Amino acid sequence: MRALNLRAWVLGGVAVAFAAFAAGCASVYNLPGNAPLGTALADNNFGRELPVYDDDVLLALSFSGGGTRAAAFSFGVLSELDRSRAGSGQSKSLLDRVDFVSGVSGGSVTAAYFGLKKRAALDDFRERFLLRNAEEALNTQLSLGNIGRALGGGVNDSQFTNWLDRNLFDGARFESFREDRRPRVWINASDIYNRTPFVFGKTAFDALCSDIRPYRVAEAVAASAAVPLAFAPIVLETYPGGCAAPLPAWLERARSDPNGQPLLKSYAEAHARYRDGSMRYVKLLDGGLVDNYGLSGFSIGLLAAQRPFEPITEQQAVKVRRIMFLVVDAGRGISGDFAQRIEGPNGVELVAAAADTAIDASVRASYAAFSALATDWSGKVRRWRCGLSAAERSRLGVGKNWRCGDISFAIDRVSFDQLGPARAGILNAIPTRFALPAEQVDLLIESGADALRQSKSYQAFRRGL
C-alpha cells in the first residue's frame, strides 16, 4: 500500500531534529521469524514453485497494492470469477481454475486468504477483514514520540503481523499452501538492501537455507505491506552453510551472464548473497517499492527459462489451450491542486507526489515489460508445439485431434478506468488505508466485479473455454 498516513508523517518537518533529540531515536526492529532447514532438510532439492495442473487452462491473477481499497477491489474480481461457470457441464467456476495468484501489500491480504481457503474465502473475508479496522493495533498518530520511532526504524514493529495472525489467518503457516493444489500463491515484498523483489517461496527460502513451511503467512503479508517509516522492516535470517544443495542452475547462469537482463541478474545476485554469508539478515519492506503490480515473479520465471515452454512443464505446454493473465490494479489516480497555482507543491505535497510518481512510473514499466515477455513466450510455446516430431507427440500423449496452433494468450489490466471517469473519480478518492467504512468497501467490491465484466479480453477468454 502507499504510505499509511504518509502526509501526516511529513507534517511538522521542522520539528524532526527536536523530536529525534527528545525521543532519543530509540531503535525499533523486528526479530527474524524464519527457521533453519535442519538436518533432515539440509540436502533440500529446491522443489517446484509452479503448480502442476491437469487441464487446458492457465489462469493467473495479480493483485496490486493499495490497502483495504486494493483488497476489496480484488475481492470483487474473485467474486465475479466465481459467477463464471466453465468446464464439463459447467460444474466448475473460473475461481476453481485459478493457477496462480500474486499479491502486493493490500492485494497480498486477499491473495493469501484466497490461497488458504479457496472459494470459502468468499463467505467471510468481507466480515473478517474488509469491514474490520486493521489499524486498531497500530500507532498512527503524529507525535514527537512516533516521529522518533520512525527515525529509529519504524513506528510499528510486529503489531500488524500479530493482528493479521490472530484475526484473519488463524496462525496459518506456508505449509498450508500445498504444492499439489491450486492456486500457487506468491506474496511479494522488497529486499531494500539488494533493491530487488522478494517473492516468498521455496526458491528464496532455500537460498537462505531456511524452511518456509513453518513460516507465518501473516508475517509475509505484513512484509508486503510494510510502508517505510510507518513500519519497521520484516527481518529474515540467513543460515549460510545450513544446506548442502547448490543454488539452482538458472540462478548461477544469470549471475555469470554479463549481458543478462538486469532484473534477473540482480535477483540472482541477491540470492547468492543470501547463501554465501555476505548478508546476515534480509530486511523487507512494502512490495510496491519495486513492483506494485506483483509481476516480478512471473517476469523472472520467463526470463530464467532455458527451454521454449518453461517455466511450465512440457506436459502442460502441449495440453494448454487458453492462457489468461489478469492484473487487478487499485492504484490511485492523480490528485492535488498545485498544478493550478504558481506556487507549490509544498513539502507535504512534494513528498507525496514524488512517491506517487516513482510508483506509477514503475508499474507502467513493469506491465509493459511483462506484456512483451509473456506475448513472446506464448509465441515460443506455439512454435515449439508445432515443431514436435511424431515420436515426441506420442511420448507426451498427444491425441489424434490435437492442433498445435490451438493456443491463445491474453493479458489485461482490470482497473477503475474501465468504469468511466465519474465512477473512477469516486474510487480514486477512497484513501489507501487499512480501515474503510462499509459503504466504501461494498462500492469497491461491486466495482471490481463490474470492471472484470467489462474486460473485453476476459470475455473473449470465457467464450473460448
Indicate which residues carry an active-site annotation.
105, 286
Strand partners, 103: 63, 187
Give the Cα separation of 42 and 35 in Å (integer): 12
Give the Cα separation of 179 and 220 in Å (integer): 18
Give the Cα separation of 232 and 131 in Å (integer): 25
Segments in 120-177 forming alpha helices (H) = 121-125, 144-151, 159-164
**Strand 322-329 and strand 408-415: pairing?**
parallel
Dihedral-angle region of residue 357 (phi above 0 means left; psi in -120 to 50 means alpha; beta otherwise): alpha
DSSP string covering 235-276 = EEE--TTS--SPPPHHHHHHHH-TTS-HHHHHHHHHHHHHHH
Assign 47 to helix, strand or coil.
Answer: coil
Give the Cα separation of 385 and 405 in Å (integer): 8
Grid coordinates of 104: 502486493
CA angle 13, 196, 281 (to 5 degrees): 80
What b/e readout covers 391-430, taking b as 16+ CB neighbours within 10 angstroms? eebeebebeeeeebeebebbbbbbbbebbeeebbeebbeb
Sole residue written with cell 505491506:
225
Q: What is the DSSP letter of 165?
A: I
Residue 360 burial (CB < 10 Å; 0-12/13-18/19+)?
middle
